[in-house]
Structure 1
Amino acid sequence: MKVLTVVVPCYNSAVYMDRAIESLLIGDEDLEILIVDDGSSDNTSAIADEYEKKYPNIIHAIHKENGGHGDAVNTGLKYSKGIYFKVLDSDDWFDKNSLKKILNILKSMINNFEQVDMLIANYVYENVNIHKSKSINYKGAMPEEKIFTWDDLGHFKNSQNILMHSVIYRTEILRECNLELPKHTFYVDNIFVYKPLPYVKTMYYTNVDLYRYFIGREDQSVNEKIMIERIDQQIKVTKIIIDCYNPMLIKCKKLRKYMIKYLVMMMTISTVLLLKDNTQESLNKKEELWCYLNSKNRSLYEEINKSFLGLLMQIKGLLGRDIILLGYSLSRKVFGFN
């Protein structure tokens, strides 16, 4: 059995998918690489087949009708044979030395019957527009180089969210929680990292920069202009996360606190983008989203209202809007996202 399955969703990725795939090959036969061609119209399909032909024991090309990023991940999960599971977007790449270390950690755990449910590593924003790299680590929030539980967590800074870039799940955890991402929907990576959390009992954090997250291309889904254009999809994903669980009922205090923190982040992103658009339609959507949260989970709504974002939301008019957007602008400069 393979130690780790890495799914590479590809849609018209011919120009840049080589870098992603080549960064994985040092894993040799411990790794299963699933290139999922999501109905591409360029040369992606042929490139995927060529890689499978060249590395038949490591790489498998899967061709399917277009269903979006989430459906490509679903397909990868369906065919995965690895004990652990990770997603690498086709325009990103792994640091090879970090991947070697993580594979050694996972193999050691498997050999010693100490498998964990979730392994976390750092990721790096690689912003081509401002020529800036920024590593996001979890120092202080998680014990390093040891198995731990939710009760062992420290304080999470605002930047220290567990994202698809940083997480490796034990494959069976994803199947146990019945993870199925919606088709033709952007930003489903948030569901991917949120829905399995209550099923996770043991974790391991290694302080290495594994995932290189390439941002700054004008056509990327995380480009601010495109995110505003696709705000309905951001809102859709936020509502799905609201509907997943009632985190107020989670018994583990630190897990409950983290899940609420993640929801605050999701509400913040939608709120900021709607305020930046600043049309009457967008302002109405902002009000509707907060009303949705209130109607679905009053206790959670009240808890989020105690957060910094919630307090800002209570400042009506231009002052509240200006303060929220200033905070967003400062965060962009510090962390180099979007």
Structure 2
Amino acid sequence: MLTVFTPTYNRAKHLHLCYQSLVSQEFKDFEWLIIDDGSTDNTKEIVETFHLDNKINIRYIYQENAGKQAAWNKAVLEASGTYFIGVDSDDKLIDNSLILFFEKYIPKIDNQDNILGIRALSKKNSTNQADSKFSIDKDNYIASWFEEFSYPQSGERIDIFKTNILKKFLYPITSDIKFIPEIWFYSSIANKYKFLYVNKYLGLFFDEDVNNRLSRSSLEFHAKGHLISRTAMLKNIPLKYFIKNPVALIKTVVRWLQCSYFLIKNK
């Protein structure tokens, strides 16, 4: 069984995109686990209309606003599926992609204890193409995420994780830390586990929201979370991969210094 996790916060008008892409899947052995992170719009009512359709298995959990990573942690702990996918509220899965992955690729990793999951391609809505060029000529390529990190055009991908491994790597959130960049997770887990890289499309992502862009104000507001992430990168990523991607090393050090400064300034 698969858990498809969607975090949402005041995104009621977008949820239908994700919903329709799940309804259209031929593969039906999944639950859609929605974690509502304190929405004040009509998200709950929209989800209730989906329930009434009775087309897919839906679980809806409401929590007081605690941030996306808190929603992720809760979803991982609540998940019923052996495998786990995160799909944002305004993103979607490619039509009938799940059956392809679960018939052809999941069996390749089921009994591989050192493989965390599958990293598949995700289309960008504005170009209808993948922006990740890593391993594009190496289908069914088993590699560490560190290799992808060292590649200049790594880009967006979508993952199918083994849920039992995710439970060992929950985000270190606290009441005053609502955001930690996802790179904390990848840099933390890559020392122990690898991915199967598959050059088939699984997801479609939308990258038009200006709120998704990293600004000075968001960096300062979430300085603790960013510092945790950058510290993990400097600690976990072997130097040889930073040497292959020196721009990433410079950015990581600069962000670390910026966040340290913001935390000292705002004490």
C-alpha displacement of 1:185: 3.0
> Can you list the C-alpha shifts for 1:257-307, whole angstroms capped at 9, x where unaligned?
4478789638627859x9xxxxxxxxx837848xxxxxxxxxxxxxxxxxx
- Given that 1:37 and 1:63 are in contact with CA atoms closer than 8 Å, whether structure 2 keeps it comes out as yes
CA deviations on 1:136-167 (whole Å, 9 max, x unpaired) are 23453784125x35499689531215x5x422
Q: Name the SS of the counterpart of 2:72 in structure 1.
A: helix
**Counterpart in the other structure of 2:32:** 33
Larger Rg, first or second structure (1 or 2): 1
Q: TM-score, normalised by structure 2?
A: 0.78
1:61 maps to which residue?
60
Change (3 A) 1:193 1:247: closer
Compared CA separation, residues 123 and 181, structure 1 to 2 (3 A): farther
Distance 1:263 1:31 in 2: 41
Select which of 10, 24, 40 maps to 2:22.
24
Which structure has more relative contact order (CA 8 Å, sep 6+)? It is: 2
Could you say what the CA RMSD is over the residues aligned between the two structures, in angstroms? 3.8
Counterpart contact for 2:6–2:32, Cα < 8 Å: yes
Aligned partners of 1:33, 1:81: CA distance in 2, in Å?
A: 10
Instruction: Give 1 or 2: higher strand fraction.
Output: 2
**TM-aligned CA deviation for residue 35 of structure 1:** 1.0
Alignment match of 2:153 (pick from 159, 163, 166): 159
> Which residue pairs with 1:86 in the alignment?
85
Q: How does 1:234-245 map onto structure 2 within 5 Å?
A: 235-244=223-232
Q: Which has the higher helix share?
A: 1
TM-score by length of 1: 0.63
Q: Which amino acid is the alignment partner of residue 6 of structure 1?
A: V
Does 2:192 align with 1:209? no
How far is 1:46 from its partner?
A: 1.4
Q: Distance in 1 between matches of 2:42 and 2:248?
A: 37
Aligned-pair identity (%):
22
2:97 counterpart residue number = 98
Partner Cα distance (1:232, 1:262) in 2? 25
Per-residue deviation, 1:81: 1.4
Residue type at the aligned position of 1:192: F
Distance verdict in 2 for CA 1:107–1:287, change over 3 Å? closer
Q: Which residue of 277, 285, 300 corresponds with 2:258?
A: 285
